Amino acid sequence: MLKLPYGISNFELLVNEGYLYIDRTFYLEKLESLSQRYLFFVRPRRFGKSLFLSVLEYYYGLQYKDKFERLFGKYYIGQNPTPAANKYLILKFDFSQMDTSSFENTFKSFLGNVKGSALTFLELYAHLFGQPNLEEVKNYTFPAEVMQHILRIARVNAPDHKIYLLVDEYDHFANEILSFRFDDFQEMVGKNGFVRKFYEAVKVGTQSGTIDRLFITGVSPLTLDSLTSGFNISTNISLRKEFNALMGFKQNEVRDILRGIEIPREKEEEALALMKGWYNGYLFAEEAAEHIYNSDMVLYFATEYSSSQNYPKELLDPNIASDYTKIRRLFKIKDKEKEHLQYLDELLTTGAISAKLVRQFELERRFDRNDFISLLYYTGIITIHKSSLAAVILKMPNYVIEQLYYQYFHQVAIERSRLPASQIDLHEIIRVLALNNEMRPLIDYTQQILTALSTRDKVKFDEKYIKAIFTSVLFTVGIYTIRHELEVKRSPTDKGYVDILLQKRPPFETKYQFAMELKYVKKADAAQAEAVKKEAVEQLRRYLRYDDYLQKLEDLKAYVVLFVGNEGEFVEVKE
């Protein structure tokens, strides 16, 4: 049985203990071939950034030279080593664990992190530096002073050796405070801010030649761009086609993992289709052809299956869920939540949103539509769908992200309507639908939200907005795979789209699946309701008759759901 490295980001541990490692070492050769030496690379959370930095550390660190064959011998770079292998002093910072509860605590945490990494560096290379005065490092009061001290010792005591600087999660602490304490953020990265001064010291190290190479990872370029005037040496390679698959898994690699955990061959395609819908869909370059799976999500699924020999009930990794619950924070940046929520409405009601991807943020001067949508892209909440002249059209990559979005949308709808959420049992509403084919509780609950919204917030409803509210209830419970606008066709010219399809997903033993057409008529146009309902019934009946895919779905129930103003009704459709 394949050993899965879920939650493990130390390369030596993976190799020594026989864990799966999907070879990405050929990218080291690609990175070295670039004319740029100071590289910046962002990807969403849980995409394998820390593991890749660990690979860099073990490959380039001179202290690991004796381990080279054992660590890299069976991988591409071990059989095709570059001249730079094990030639560098590795100075590594990891800013993922920071106390951001206040400005003072953030400063202390940043300083402590820098000092800890500096002391590790000095002790690791004591054979080159002699016995440096560690107390001197401990007594410094600013991060930049620590960095300057390290560079001075390296330059004087080991002039024949250069530093490869690795920075992991460079922006994690800043992202934690950006939404709620923007003034603190500006002070940290402003002209005299301690973060900017630290990176100014790094820049001096590159100019002197002491730092020969640099690789920085994070979630977005937001913080780095705020440091631009003090740190303008890095090259952002995140959107380049050749590095689209640097992190994450490809389709064939996911299939190999499924075979490695011994999923029965008769279930392989089903499992792959399930994982593709929930975990695939990321595209990080407009010109790239292949969509990428989130590696953490794949390993979570495979680990859970290996343990129970069944699909996990929660297809959303709890660790991913905890990360992406921070979505709400993004919407609050610069106190523009109301404006940003309009983009959420647009995304959920149309399925896509267009923008010009921003590579250089200017938070001090502006934070407009393109900035916010670009930030959603960098954090993995939307991904590239296709180009549109100078802009790109972006969409949600998979069902995991859709579920998170709709859960957030439902939360916002409840807050707007001021309904007592704690008194509503959504699971019971969906349970009686799934097991008893009882549609009425779902209709009544949606009707409740619409009535409260229209009374209090004067929301301008349309069919797409009603559909988003209706769907958000289904996603919040999460026992079905929910598909929107499923294309059905009898011929290339005779086709249509089913508004909502609820499909069974293991391991849940739901009794029914559902195809739904959802219609909306304004109260003022109530006289048209019967005609609209009749047309929708005939349309759905036609789909059921001629679409092969729908006909193969077992225990399929079909409904037309019609809202006239806030009042909901439904009719079951049979062939």
Write out the two tokens for 183: 């003034």
The residue type of 17 is: E
**Which residue's entry shows tokens 């969509």?**
291
Residue 416 burial class via C-beta count within 10 angstroms: exposed 0-12, middle 13-18, buried 19 and up: middle
Q: Check: CB of residue 71 under 8 Å from CB of residue 10.
A: no
Q: How far apart are the first and last CA of the chain?
A: 48
| CB of 381 closer than 8 Å to CB of 361 | no
Show the tokens assigned to 417. 């309507």
What is the predicted pLDDT for the residue at 454?
A: 75
Distance CA 378, CA 238 (A): 9
Residue owning tokens 């008893």:
436
C-alpha span between 25 and 80 (Å, rounded):
10
Write the DSSP string, 40-54: EEE--TTSSHHHHHH
> What structural domains does the chain harbor?
11-238 (3.40.50), 251-320 (no CATH), 325-395 (no CATH), 418-573 (no CATH)
Given this model, what pLDDT does residue 346 score? Answer: 86
3-state secondary structure string across 430-442: HHHHHHHCCCHHH
H/E element, 55: helix 49-60
What residues are paired with 41 via a beta bridge?
217
Please name the helix (run of DSSP H) or strand (run of DSSP E) that holds residue 503, with its range, or none. strand 494-504
Q: Is the pTM of this model over 0.85?
A: yes
φ/ψ bin of 60: left (φ > 0), alpha (ψ from -120 to 50), beta (otherwise): alpha
> What burial class does residue 470 get, using C-beta atoms within 10 Å of its C-beta: 0-12 exposed, 13-18 middle, 19+ buried?
buried
Comparing CA positions, the residue from 410, 409, 421, 415 lying closest to residue 341 is 409
d(CA 172, CA 368): 22
Give the contacts of 500 (CB within 8 A, at least 6 positions apart).
467, 470, 471, 474, 482, 483, 484, 514, 515, 516, 518
- Rounded distance between C-alpha atoms, residue 367 and residue 74, angstroms: 48
Question: How far is residue 136 from each of residues 457, 495, 511, measured CA to CA in Å?
Answer: 61, 74, 69
Tokens of 165: 């600087």
Return the pLDDT at 453.
Answer: 84
Tens digit of pLDDT per residue, the chain (575 long)? 799 999 999 999 999 999 999 999 999 999 999 999 999 999 998 899 999 999 999 999 999 999 999 999 999 999 999 999 999 999 999 998 889 889 999 999 999 999 999 999 999 999 998 877 788 999 999 999 999 999 999 999 999 999 999 999 998 877 778 777 888 888 888 888 899 999 999 999 999 999 999 999 998 887 877 776 667 888 999 999 999 999 999 999 999 999 999 999 999 999 999 999 999 999 999 899 899 999 999 999 999 999 999 999 888 888 777 666 667 777 877 778 788 888 888 888 888 999 998 887 777 777 889 988 998 899 888 999 988 878 899 999 998 888 888 888 888 888 888 888 777 889 999 999 999 999 999 999 999 998 888 766 556 678 888 888 888 888 888 899 999 888 887 777 778 899 999 999 888 999 999 999 999 999 999 999 999 999 999 999 999 998 989 999 999 999 999 999 989 999 999 87
* pLDDT value of position 326: 67
Residue 475 CB-density burial (10 A; 0-12 exposed, 13-18 middle, 19+ buried): buried
- Give the strand pairing for 235-236 and 353-355: unpaired
Crossing angle for the helix pair 440-456 and 399-417, to the nearest 10 degrees: 50
| Contact (CB, 8 A) for 394 and 383 | yes
Predicted local confidence at residue 104, as pLDDT: 94
Q: Say which residues have a Cβ less than 8 Å from residue 365's Cβ, sequence separation at least 6.
A: none
